Structure 1
Amino acid sequence: MALLCWVTMISWHTTAQQKTLRDTHTQGLTDSLTVWVFLAVDCPISQKYISELRRMDSVYTAHKLRVRGIVPGKINPNEVKTFVDEYAIKFPVSIDRDFTDVRRFHATITPEAILVDRQGQILYQGAIDNWFFDLGKYRQRVTEHYLQDAIDAALQGKTPTVRKTEAVGCIIQTP
């Protein structure tokens, strides 16, 4: 049975100054940026952001940006497939059964986005934008596009102005 879920192999390197990430599926593709997004199939805020993530995946594909979803926990792959189908997700979504990626990124919330550059440096981590400012509380109009601004800066060869924000959403329950 072919699932839209795939297992991602990641190697994490720590230097004295920065953490880097290398996705073994894209090694050698030095012309790409990757957005890793932690998602939960049952998190209403994750669900609400899928259309924005689909838009980014579509708009930035020409710029060699890759969006990758990560669903943490011991979830049934069929639940993830249903989620992917229901929300018409075109980007790959993997399951992080043992919370390896959660620990590597120090992710605590879904949705939480991490932008990684061509060399594996984390350029941005946190909220996608400022639509939600607390659980169940959101703005009528987004005024800060944190992830999009970080992507745009990286595509121009610049360091993003905002490197870290606090994501708002559902807590990732780790063992």
Structure 2
Amino acid sequence: MLQCIARKQARMPAPPEHFLRSRGVTPNRWISRFVFSVAAILMAVISGCNSEVSSAQLDLLDLAGRQINPFQGAHAKAAVFLFTRSDCPISNRYAPEVRRLHEKFAPRNVTFWLVYPDKDESVDVIRKHVQEYGYNFNVLRDPRHTLVKMTGARVTPEAAVFAPGGPNGRMVYRGRIDDRYVDFGKARAAPTTRDLEQVLEAIVEGKPVAARTTPAVGCIIQDLQ
């Protein structure tokens, strides 16, 4: 992201030398305009950087070792990617909630993918984990972290939601499943906000969804770059 911003910043033209004098504006008005201009530029730059990341070549595998692009030929209202690992206690405690969300939204044309980003987790371990926790939807391996980089995921469990738009869709949410966990080892008896469910409800009901992120609590994804 920083490299992308630096490249775009280098292409920005310098402001006119006599900007204030030629336009007859006060310093305060100039500062106000400058702040708004910088904000607009940053938004455009960030948008451009995100499109560069999202167009990257995906390198994802199914459990048979075949390369797969989950965005290709997708016609769902939304695609949910849930990053997990077999030995993360927080991920495993969320299994009932993940199954509930799948049962609720899969019939409403929402696709769910379980993503294992740890390159050291074998296919046999993943198969056993999927069976033990009753996951009955698509499974992906992301050993090269191409989907991790595209979404910005940092921990397991963490969700990324894509709505239609562009070759790889448009990411509208990344973060926690809900707010049950305040910190690692510190949890509420029950969540007060079900973030992922709220986003999916809005999408399937055809409501506008602004892109947002929330902090996720869980096990750090190894070998992040």
Q: State the TM-score bracket (shorter-chain normalisation).
A: 0.7 to 0.9
- Compared CA separation, residues 109 and 82, structure 1 to 2 (3 A): same
Cα offset, 1:151, TM superposition: 0.6
In terms of Rg, which structure is larger? 2
Cα offset, 1:154, TM superposition: 1.3
Cα offset, 1:30, TM superposition: 2.7
Find the counterpart in structure 1 of residue 142 from structure 2: 96
- Compared CA separation, residues 65 and 24, structure 1 to 2 (3 A): same
- Specify the code of the residue in structure 2 equivalent to 1:16: G
Find the counterpart in structure 2 of residue 32 from structure 1: 77
Find the counterpart in structure 2 of residue 123 from structure 1: 172
Cα offset, 1:86, TM superposition: 0.5
Structure richer in strand, relative to its length: 1
Percent identity, aligned pairs only?
31
Q: How does 1:5-154 map to 2 (within 5 A)?
A: 16=48, 18-19=50-51, 20=54, 24-25=69-70, 27-74=72-119, 75-119=121-165, 120-154=169-203
CA distance in 2, matches of 1:107, 1:25: 17
Secondary structure of the residue that 2:153 maps to in structure 1? coil
CA distance in 2, matches of 1:56, 1:168: 19
Q: How many residues align?
A: 162
Secondary structure of the residue that 1:51 maps to in structure 2? helix
Question: Which runs of no fewer than 5 residues in structure 1 stay unpaired?
Answer: 1-13
Of the two structures, which has the highest relative contact order with CA contacts closer than 8 Å and spacing of 6 or more? 1
- Specify the code of the residue in structure 1 equivalent to 2:122: N
Structure richer in helix, relative to its length: 2
- Specify the code of the residue in structure 2 equivalent to 1:33: A
Contact 2:163 2:172 in 1 (8 A): yes
Question: Which runs of no fewer than 5 residues in structure 2 stay unpaired?
Answer: 1-45, 59-67
- Specify the code of the residue in structure 1 equivalent to 2:130: V
CA distance in 2, matches of 1:157, 1:18: 24
CA distance in 1, matches of 2:73, 2:124: 32
CA distance in 2, matches of 1:163, 1:148: 14
Cα offset, 1:171, TM superposition: 0.4
Deviations 1:6-54 (A, max 9, x none): xxxxxxxx96275457984453343431100110110000001111111
CA distance in 2, matches of 1:115, 1:155: 12
